């Protein structure tokens, strides 16, 4: 099987797809694209949409973390990503959808909000990236890319504040799925691989970490993505973080 994963450094759905490939034991090559430039590159590579993760596997092109999961399950059923029992599968798919549609984006918006304020953290998120240009150069010339990424992702004060407000409720949901055995069970499943990278990315933000640490959700991230790249020192306005106080369990 010949596989190449196109991603962006520290992209949480990109890491989700990489974890799924590794779970299946499928060897793959990885190409890291600079944000924004990724949109043009992906179209040039023949992918229909403009987001990573994008996977070329045996000549086929699959885009989106959930589509990639299903294609990998079809190509190599063992070890499974989805439980065989229909009720358990439905629960896992609900958690997976939540991870993709609800959890990913607010964390992405918060990250771009912080990078827009202070680009110096960009280098840490590019650690280990295979960009094809020296990381120092990529970071030094990254100003317009950061501005555009923040704009494309609608990372502004309003969305950053609603992301913070939504975080405790989302963490409660994840903790609930862990308590129910849908997440972080003996065998990791597609929802673990979808959700843990978003938690791992959130934990790289010092402002968010205290609200996550000590929760079952943090144990899931520690198990699945113990070495998530990147670090953002405190930068969000203190007052905005008020809803997170008392959120840690
Ligand atoms: N929910 C989609 C999200 C894909 C997505 O938005 N990926 C981001 C990176 S995390 C992207 O490609 N952004 C384009 C850019 O930054 O230029 C998935 O799981 O595949």
What string of DSSP letters covers 95-128? HHHHIIIIIHHHHHHHHHHHHHH-GGGHHHHTTT
**Would the CB of 32 count as within 6 Å of ligand 1?**
no
CB atoms within 10 A of CB 187: 10
Average pLDDT over residues 214-222: 98
85 Cα to the center of ligand 1, angstroms = 30
**Would the CB of 51 count as within 6 Å of ligand 1?**
yes
**Would the CB of 149 count as within 6 Å of ligand 1?**
yes
Looking at residue 248, what is its pLDDT?
67
Looking at residue 232, what is its pLDDT?
98
The atom of ligand 1 lying closest to the CA of 13 is 19
Compute the chain's Rg from CA coordinates.
Answer: 18
Looking at residue 112, what is its pLDDT?
98
- The pLDDT > 70 percentage for the chain reads 99
pTM over 0.85: yes
Q: Using CA positions, which residue lies closest to atom 1 of ligand 1?
A: 100
Average pLDDT over residues 192-205: 98
Render pLDDT for 110-144 as a digit per residue (tens, 0 to 9): 999 999 999 999 999 988 888 877 777 777 778 89
Q: What is the C-alpha to C-alpha distance for residues 151 and 154, in angstroms, rounded to an integer? A: 5
User: Is the model's pLDDT at 249 over the cut of 80?
Assistant: no
32 Cα to the center of ligand 1, angstroms = 13
Provide the pairing of β-strand 3-7 with 29-32. Answer: parallel
């Amino acid at each position: 099987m010949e596989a190449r994963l196109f991603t962006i450094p520290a992209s949480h759905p990109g890491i989700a797809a990489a974890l799924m490939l590794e779970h299946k034991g499928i060897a793959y090559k990885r190409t890291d694209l600079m944000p924004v430039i990724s949109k043009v590159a992906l179209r040039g590579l023949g992918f229909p949409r403009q987001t990573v993760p994008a996977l070329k596997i045996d000549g086929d092109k699959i885009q989106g973390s959930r589509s990639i999961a299903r294609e990998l399950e079809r190509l190599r059923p063992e070890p499974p990503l989805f439980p065989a029992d229909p009720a358990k599968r439905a629960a896992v798919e609900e958690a997976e959808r939540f991870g993709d549609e609800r959890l990913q984006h607010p964390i992405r918006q918060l990250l771009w909000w912080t990078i827009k304020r202070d680009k110096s953290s960009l280098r840490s998120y590019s650690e280990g990236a295979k960009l094809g240009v020296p990381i120092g150069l990529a970071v030094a010339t990254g100003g317009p890319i950061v501005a555009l990424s923040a704009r494309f992702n609608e990372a502004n004060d309003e969305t950053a504040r609603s992301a913070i407000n939504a975080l405790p409720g989302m963490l409660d949901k994840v903790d609930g799925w862990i308590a129910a055995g849908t997440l972080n069970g003996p065998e990791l499943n597609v929802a673990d691989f979808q959700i843990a990278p978003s938690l791992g990315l959130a934990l790289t933000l010092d402002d968010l970490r205290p609200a996550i640490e000590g929760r079952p959700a943090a144990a899931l991230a520690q198990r699945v993505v113990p070495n998530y790249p990147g670090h953002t020192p405190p930068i969000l306005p203190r007052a905005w973080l008020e809803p997170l106080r008392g959120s840690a369990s």
